[in-house]
Amino acid sequence: MKVLIAEDDLTSRIMLENIISRSGFTPISVTDGASALKAWRQDRSISIVVTDLNMPFFSGIELCATMRQESPDRGMYSIVVTAQDKPGILIEALDAGASDFVYKPYNPAELIARLNVARRHMELHDKLEVTKEQLKHQATHDSLTGALNRRAIMAALDEDISRAERNNRHLAVAMIDIDDFKGINDTHGHTAGDQVIRYVSSTISECIRPYDHMGRYGGEEFLVIAEVESHDDASLLFRRICRQIADGDERRSRRVTVSGGVTLVPPTARSRSADNIINAADSLLYQAKRSGKNRILS
C-alpha cells in the first residue's frame, strides 16, 4: 500500500519516510501541497496521504479539502501532521476532509498505530468496492450466459438509439430465437438445453464487434444491437450469425438453428421508441418462424 507524504521540512520528511516504510507501506514523498495533489491525481493506487499543514503554495488542509471535493467516491485516508497549535486547527482540518490529525512532536508508535487504522480502513473500502462491482455485474448480466440481462440490454438499446441519432448512424436491432428449443429440452434434458443457450450466446457475441450489444431477452431469445452502414450490411451480419450458429461447432452432435427478425433504424427515424423497434423485430421473427425457421428476415 502506497502512502503519499507531503512535507516541506527535510528532517520531518525523512522521519515520516522511515516510520512509514517500517510499517510496511511504500512511501512517496513530495515537498508541497500542489505536488501532492498532482501525484494523487496521477496515481489512482494512492489512497493514504500523510500531510504537513504549513507548506508553500498550498496547505495540508487545502490539500485534504481538494482531494475530497475532486473525488468524493475515491477511497482515501488523510492524516494531517503539524506542530501548529492554533486553537481549533484540529477541528478545521477534520471538517475540511482530513481523516485524522496528529500533533508534532509525535510518538512514532502512535503514528504507526494511526497508519494501521488507515490500512484497515482502506482494506475494508477495497473489499466493499469489489463487492459493489460484483453486485453491479450480477444486476446487469445473465448468470447462465454472462450476456447482458433483459434490463441491461433494454437500457443499452435506449442509449444506442440516442447515440446513433446524434452521430447520424444506422442501427440494426435483431430478435434472435432458437428453433425448436422445447424439443431439445424435452429430448435431451434441461442441462443440454442450457448448453445450447450458452453456445448460441457465445456464437452471437463472437460475431459482433466490441461496441455492439447483445443480451438475453428471454429464455432462448437474444436481442442484438449493431451499428451498420446500410440495410444490406445489417442483413449480411445477421445472416452470418444465423449460418455460424447452424454450421459453427462441428463437435455438436445435434444441429442448432435460430431464426431472427431485424429492424433497421435509420438516423432519420427520430425518436423511434425501443418498444416500437422490438415489436417490429418480433413480427419479422414470427414471419421467419412461419416460413420455415433457420433464417433471418429484415
List the one residue from 26, 54, 69, 138 that touches Mg ion (CB under 5 A).
54
Residues 213-272 that bind ligand GH3 (CB under 6 A): 219-220
Q: Which residue is nearest to ligand GH3 (CB)?
A: 219
Contact characters 200-239, Mg ion, x per CB under 5 A: ---------------------x------------------
Nearer CB in complex with ligand GH3: 114/289: 289
54, interface contact from ligand GH3, Mg ion, none, CB < 5-8 Å by kind: Mg ion
Of the candidate spans 13-21, 64-72, 97-105, 191-199, the one that interacts with ligand GH3 by CB under 6 A turns out to be 191-199
Active-site residues, by number, are 220
Nearer CB in complex with Mg ion: 177/227: 177
Contact characters 122-151, ligand GH3, x per CB under 6 A: ----------------------x-------
Q: Does 295 bind ligand GH3 (CB under 6 A)?
A: no
Is 234 within 8 Å of 215 (Cβ atoms)? no
* Sign of the CA dihedral with 144 first, then 150, 155, and 157 last: positive
Among 142, 169, 141, 154, smallest CA distance to 229 is for 169
Of the candidate spans 60-68, 94-102, 186-194, 205-213, the one that interacts with ligand GH3 by CB under 6 A turns out to be 186-194
Q: Does 185 bind ligand GH3 (CB under 6 A)?
A: yes
- For residue 78, the surrounding DSSP H or E stretch is strand 77-82
Q: Does 181 bind ligand GH3 (CB under 6 A)?
A: yes
Joined grid coordinates for residue 182 = 422445447
Is 156 within 8 Å of 225 (Cβ atoms)? yes
Q: Does 3 bind ligand GH3 (CB under 6 A)?
A: no
Among 189, 174, 196, smallest CA distance to 264 is for 174
List the one residue from 62, 160, 179, 212 that touches ligand GH3 (CB under 6 A).
179
Q: CB burial class (10 A; 0-12, 13-18, 19+) of residue 293?
A: middle
8, interface contact from ligand GH3, Mg ion, none, CB < 5-8 Å by kind: Mg ion
Is 153 within 8 Å of 223 (Cβ atoms)? yes
Amino acid identity for residue 76 in this structure: M
Of the candidate spans 29-37, 59-67, 97-105, 192-200, the one that interacts with ligand GH3 by CB under 6 A turns out to be 192-200
Q: Who's near 221: CB < 8 A, 6+ residues apart?
A: 175, 176, 177, 178
Q: Least distance in Å: CB of 263 to Mg ion? A: 18
Q: Is 224 helix (H, G, I), strand (E, B) or coil?
A: strand
Q: Does 92 bind Mg ion (CB under 5 A)?
A: no
Is 214 within 8 Å of 224 (Cβ atoms)? yes
List the one residue from 13, 16, 19, 52 that touches Mg ion (CB under 5 A).
52
* Sign of the CA dihedral with 154 first, then 155, 158, and 160 last: negative
> Which letter, b or e, does each residue of 249-278 get, where b requires 16 or more Cβ atoms within 10 Å of its Cβ?
eeeeeeebbbbbbbbbbeeebeebebeebb
Judged by the rule CB under 6 A, the positions of this chain that interact with ligand GH3 are 144, 177-183, 185, 190, 193-194, 197, 219-220, 289, 293
Judged by the rule CB under 5 A, the positions of this chain that interact with Mg ion are 8, 52-55, 82, 177-178, 181, 221
